[in-house]
Structure 1
Amino acid sequence: MVDASTVGPYDRRPEPGLRVRIAATIACIVIAAVVILALAVHLLVVQNRINQQRAAADNLVQVAMSIYQDQGVLTFDARLDDPSVPSELRRQLTRSGTHGTYLSGRSIRDVWAAGRVAGHILSIHSRFPTVDASVRAVDRALLIAGIATAVVASAVGALSANRLSRRLRLAARAARALATAASTPGAWPATSPGAADGSTLREAVGQGRDEVGDLADAVDAMAARLAERLQSEQRFTADVAHDLRTPLTGLNAAASLLDDSRPSQMVRDRVDALTTLVEELLEVARLDSRVETAQLEYAMIPAIVTRAVQRGIAKGEYPQDAVAVSTHDQGEPVLTDPRRLERVLSNLIRNALQHGRPPVTVEAGGSRVVVTDAGPGFTDEFLAKGPQRFQRSSANRGGGHGLGLIIAAGQTAVLGGNLQFGNAPGGGAQVVIDLPGAPPGRQPSSGSASAENAVIWD
């Protein structure tokens, strides 16, 4: 049984698309209009037939009355003083020469036509079906015309709805590309503000002067303003990092001259932390400016992972017992930049130790690397938004400036790969590095580890 509280907004049954709903609405309106029109025409034809039969009976009784008055002969099956004449019609014939008709019945109509002549009531009675062959022919013609009209109108409506739906899908695709580019260091706003491929949303939906065009213009204007703000933020980050670098160099030199007392050691530790922060800001600025290029070479990923962990332990970045490496089949060599991949791994391992709990497991195989810690895992908010500058992946995942994962994602993008952030099935945060794969003409090897609720940030 599924707990309703765990069902998210995207787990519900998908609703029909706008194209289907518009086409269905048009079809329903056309069918309703055709049915109403056909019913009205049918009733008019039936009423016209009744009126014709009634008028014919009235004319016939007048002729019969004239002949009887002149010659005393009953014609057209007329009868004198027939007791079957309806009392309502009989009461209307108050004086000589008056005549009238009376109609009764539904599917089969009874028509009485009578007149008073020479003190007698002369009457003629006839019957006819309300719906005859001519009425049924009209109904068939209306049915065929109605079906044809409904089909044509539905087809036209579907084509119009498809055009509108296609433009909206293009708008949504461009907006998603914009959001994806905005989440990747250096990917935006280096391109045009409208979409990651350099086109604006207006270009994607066409030059139509309608609501979709107005929406595209509004989104393009918003994207342009966001691009300006992001560029301003990137320039500020780069300027601050560069302006701090010079005085920080002098501060490092001064700190190195201090003695080995506890206060001096605390000063040196803070200077080292500030130096690390400035270096990270400079690296983010380089990623934003898209000047970073990978020095690609064919290498075995498990070997790079093993070397990176051993180097980090040797440099004292993390304890030896805190990180475990698991390598699968060596697979095929992958075209990558080993130095940058080691940088990404170092950031991910340090982030896992600082914000999660040891042991940190690094699994490598083929073109995939998986880093998993034993901590509380990523929050839903982090998985929805991805890494943000100066925002930690969890409020209870320790300190830091929130730049380590930003740098890891940016460096992975330089390598042509992507990061997947998720939570491991057994608990703990999990980050998957997917690299471009094997040499041309060969299929890349796939890793065995996977993340639960993974969110891909290219």
Structure 2
Amino acid sequence: MGLRTKIGATITATAAVAVLVTGVQVPAMLIDDERETVLDRLRFAERVHQESGRVAYGARLDPPGVPPAFRERLAQGRHSTYLQETPDGRMIWAGVSTNGHLLVMNTPVSAVVTQVEQALWKSGAVGVGVTGLVSVAVAAGFGRRLRASARTAERIAEGDLTARLPEGGRDEITALTRTVNAMADALGSRLQAEREVTANIAHELRTPVAGMVAAAGLLPDGRAENMVKERAGRLRDLMEDVLEVARLDNDAEEADLRWVEAGRLARRAARAAVEARTAPGAPEPDVRVEVVEDARVHTDPRRVERVLTNLVTNAFRHGAPPVVIEVTGPVIRVRDHGPGFPGHLLSCGPQRFRTGAAGTGLGLGLTIAAGQARLIGAELRFTNPEGGGAQALLDLGAPAESDD
């Protein structure tokens, strides 16, 4: 049940209860007043009867037709009134037992009471209906504002830090809106500052790292020398990854779209990942490319290869062999047989400087893959399929139509 329905139902139910109480209590009060009037007349008639023996003011002695329940009350010797429902309407009885006789009088309930009662129920029904419509309309306004706020908050959570909530009004929703906007401003400023610092550090390190790599290349072969070369190469790759993340954050990249076969991209990415991962003299990692159905796709081949290479490299590093690249039309799946993706990645997507393996990696590979996929308009999803392992699915969009 939505908020609009809950608010409308609550207000309508409250109005209905108010109408019910009013429709019952007001006629009851009017009838009580008439009872007191009839009872006062009976007391006068009783006094006259006791003093002179006459029956006055419309009273009667032992008349027929006295309701049995009322007769039982009068037998107790006290003044009493009784409301009787008859086919012709309601009748008020008043009586008292005196000298072994019943002195009673009766009178119909005033037509004014009936008219007031009917007017209360009719106006109450109309009021409840109008209240229900107005409450639903007001609740719908609140609901629209809250839904718009929720959609904007989702955009902010997904990374659109330019999204803001409308701040019109002076109620509690507006106060919440201002708080969320202030939080988004603070978050955007902080993230922008972090990105600028990261990019500046990477730019400052680019020249000395390049010099270090060049100097390491001049070293002769040897255990210590090869270790220096390997570490220098890893530092260079890390710096390039950080720079690439910074360029993606700043929207400084543009896609170079062209028609290309998806199967060819998968094979080239697998080869590049294997070459980058294989040390001299070491066995090649177990990676397989299965082209179930090839397709021509309109995309940026360099960026697709970058995405697939990062996915395969991540599978090498955190998964278990074999790593399978399956091409089914424009959809390419990369699956390993390791422990699967961590829960935070499945729920929130890749996050820089956060990796699923304790103490290894900075989480930049999958962050870059996700950023490149967004840039080329592809969809990248991460799942843990049945049977174990982790699977990344890259959907490159609609394939080219066949010429047949």
TM-score (norm 1): 0.75
Q: Does 1:227 align with 2:188?
A: yes
Per mean C-alpha deviation after superposition, the further-off stretch among 350-359 and 136-145 is: 136-145
**Maintained 8 Å contact 1:255/1:264:** yes
Shift of 1:324: 1.2
Q: Does 1:352 align with 2:315?
A: yes
Residues 373-416 of structure 1 show CA distances to partners (whole Å, capped at 9, x for unaligned) of 11001121222222111211243xx7222110011001101111
Q: Cα distance 1:350–1:51, how it changes in 2: closer, same or farther (>3 A)?
A: same
Q: Cα distance 1:121–1:394, how it changes in 2: closer, same or farther (>3 A)?
A: same
What one-letter code is carried by the residue in structure 2 that aligns with 1:281? Answer: V
Percent of pairs with identical residues? 37
Look up the match of 1:38. 23
Shift of 1:114: 9.5
**Maintained 8 Å contact 1:322/1:360:** yes
What one-letter code is carried by the residue in structure 2 that aligns with 1:19? Answer: R
Look up the match of 1:251. 212
The partner residue of 1:144 within 122, 144, 147 is 122
- In 2: Cα distance, 1:414 partner to 1:111 partner: 92
Residues 109-157 of structure 1 show CA distances to partners (whole Å, capped at 9, x for unaligned) of 5423799xxxx9998522457x687655543333222222222112211
**Maintained 8 Å contact 1:421/1:431:** yes
Look up the match of 2:80. 103
Query: How many residues were matched structurally?
Result: 383
Residue pairs, 1:228-307, within 5 angstroms: 228-307=189-268
Residues 10-34 of structure 1 show CA distances to partners (whole Å, capped at 9, x for unaligned) of xxxxxx3222222222122212212
Q: Cα distance 1:158–1:328, how it changes in 2: closer, same or farther (>3 A)?
A: same
What one-letter code is carried by the residue in structure 2 that aligns with 1:111? Answer: A
- In 2: Cα distance, 1:213 partner to 1:59 partner: 68
**Maintained 8 Å contact 1:61/1:114:** no
SS of structure 2 residue aligned to 1:328? strand
The partner residue of 1:49 within 17, 31, 34 is 34
- In 1: Cα distance, 2:57 partner to 2:38 partner: 18
Residues 80-103 of structure 1 show CA distances to partners (whole Å, capped at 9, x for unaligned) of 9xxx986846xxxxxxxxxxxx32
Per mean C-alpha deviation after superposition, the further-off stretch among 146-155 and 257-266 is: 146-155
The partner residue of 2:136 within 143, 158, 161 is 158
Residue pairs, 1:260-409, within 5 angstroms: 260-313=221-274, 320=284, 322-331=286-295, 333-395=296-358, 399-409=360-370
Q: Cα distance 1:356–1:86, how it changes in 2: closer, same or farther (>3 A)?
A: closer
**Maintained 8 Å contact 1:109/1:128:** yes
**Maintained 8 Å contact 2:247/2:253:** yes
Residue pairs, 1:18-33, within 5 angstroms: 18-33=3-18
- In 1: Cα distance, 2:274 partner to 2:165 partner: 49
**Maintained 8 Å contact 1:300/1:334:** yes
What one-letter code is carried by the residue in structure 1 that aligns with 2:3? Answer: L
**Maintained 8 Å contact 1:64/1:78:** no
- In 2: Cα distance, 1:394 partner to 1:413 partner: 25
SS of structure 2 residue aligned to 1:201? coil
What one-letter code is carried by the residue in structure 1 that aligns with 2:80? Answer: L
